[in-house]
Amino acid sequence: MADSASGATDKSVQVKLVLLGEAAVGKSSIVLRFVSNEFQANKEPTIGAAFLTQKCRLEDRVLRYEIWDTAGQERFHSLAPMYYRNAQAAVVVYDVTKAASLEKAKSWVKELQRQANPNIVIALAGNKVDLVQPSASTSGTTSSESEDEADDATATPEETAGGEQAESLRQVPRDEAEAYAKEAGLLFFETSAKTGEGIVEIFTEIAKKIPIEHILASTRGAGRPGAGGRPGAPDGGVTLDENAAKGKDACNC
């Protein structure tokens, strides 16, 4: 952690983001994919919430995501407000192969809309789409082969299923979830932490929707938005521009 502890000292805009959702839908995996572009069995025991940071570039602006990845067990629910308070963004995750996980996601959304920061940007993410896609398209993304070994497949026994079988694993139709998201005013994505599909997009779209000027105004010492921004990504951060696809070499910061 070379990075100095206080975010207010550099020019970046700090965005507090919380991940919520039923246990084992892939919250930690999504964060890991975003922060270090890896996919592996989760080794970090999470007590309450894990805390990670990732710097990103959006157009001429540097964002510093402070990510709180909450513990999934139901009884930790009452601790969640501690982590979503003051959050500017939330990613509520469900598992497309588990209908009940969408119900839980909806209840998180309701809770956030009533209890959290009123301006919070919420994204709904249907994770594990790789499980419901024909295997041909799964290999479309880069660098997932080597990591397949690391995945100990605890939750993915059907990995080898062909296209039709795979589609039958789906319990949450895309249309249904998307319609719900639209109605509730959420950003919507289908993602796979395993292949990387849709992951960076979540954070890009959130970044676009966040009222950055607002945050800047309220953060002291960071009053010069975008001043002196270099065109390249700042040391090892993720570039959230349209041409993000090439810059997938994000690493932990």
Partner 1 sequence: MSTISTQLRNFKEPTKEQLTQLFFSLPPTLVDQAEQDGLEKMEINAIVSLSDDAEEDSYGGKLHLIPPYLSFLSVDHKSVRFTIPLCTIRRVEKLNARAGVYALSLALWHGMKVVVQLTSLRPTADLFCSLLRDALKAELQKGHMKLVKGFSKTCYSETLVAASSGMEENPSTQKLQQEAEQNSEGNETSYHGGLGLKYKFPGDPRRLREASKIKLWTKYLEKHGRNLTLLRYPQCTRLTQVGLPNRLRGEMWEVLSGSIYLRFVHPGEYLRILEENQGRTSTSTEDIEKDLHRSLPEYSAYQSEEGIGALRRVLQAYSFKNPELGYCQAMNILAAALLIYMSEEQAFWLLEVLCDRLLPGYYSPSMHGTLLDQRVFESLVQRCLPMIHDHFQEVDVQLSVASLPWFLSLFINSMPMIFACRIMDCFFCMGPKVLFQVGLAILKINGEKLLEIQDDGGFIHLMRDYFASLNESAYPDSQDPRSRAINRFQELLLISFREFSTITDDTIHAERRKYRSEIIYSIESFSKRAAVRNLKSLERFTKDQGGLIYDALYRAMCIAPPPAPVLPPPSLILGSNDDKPETRIGLKTFRVFLSEVATWARDEKIIVNGFQERVDREVAEHEFIDRLFFFWDTACRGALSFQDLVSGLDGVMFNDLMENIEWFFNLHDKNKDGYLTKDEVLTLSESFLFIFRYEVGDAYLGAISRFMTNAFEYGDTLLPRPEGEAEDSPPPEIGHNQPYLNLATFRMVVLADEILESFFETDLSASFRLEPVQLSDLPAGNVGFLGDLLSNLATDDNKKLFNRFTDQIGKTIGKHQVVHRPAIGRYKTLEEPKARESLLTPSMRRSPSKSTLSESSTITSVPSSVSISTDVSGQSTTSAPAGHETSPMTMVQTANAALMERTPFAIDDAKDEEEEDEDFFGDEDDGVMDEVDAFLEAHDNGLTQVERDVAKDLLNAKPVS
By the criterion CB under 8 A, which residues form the site for partner 1?
A: 1, 3, 5-8, 14, 16, 23-24, 41-49, 51, 53, 66, 71, 73-79, 81-83, 85-86, 98, 100, 107, 110-111, 114-115, 152, 154
Cβ 88 to partner 1, closest distance in Å?
12
Q: Which residue has the tokens 């970090």?
A: 44
- Answer with the entry of partner 1, ligand GDP, Mg ion, none that 43 interacts with (C-beta below 5 to 8 A by kind): partner 1
Q: How far is the C-alpha of 126 from the C-alpha of 162, rounded, in Å?
A: 20
List Cβ neighbours of 192 (8 Å cut-off, separation of 6 or more).
Answer: 127, 128, 129, 130, 198, 199
Sign of torsion over alpha carbons 214, 236, 249, 146 = negative
Cβ 24 to ligand GDP, closest distance in Å?
4
Phi/psi of residue 13, nearest 5 degrees: -95, 130
- Answer with the entry of partner 1, ligand GDP, Mg ion, none that 193 interacts with (C-beta below 5 to 8 A by kind): ligand GDP
Nearer to partner 1, 110 or 182 (CB): 110
Beta strand spans in 22-60 (E)? 49-58
Cβ 227 to partner 1, closest distance in Å?
20
Footprint of Mg ion on 5-64 (CB under 5 A):
27-28
Alpha helices in the chain (DSSP H): 27-36, 80-84, 99-115, 135-138, 163-169, 174-184, 199-209, 212-218
Cβ 84 to ligand GDP, closest distance in Å?
16
Tell me which residues touch ligand GDP (CB under 6 A): 21, 23-29, 41-42, 72, 127-128, 130-131, 151, 154-156, 192-194
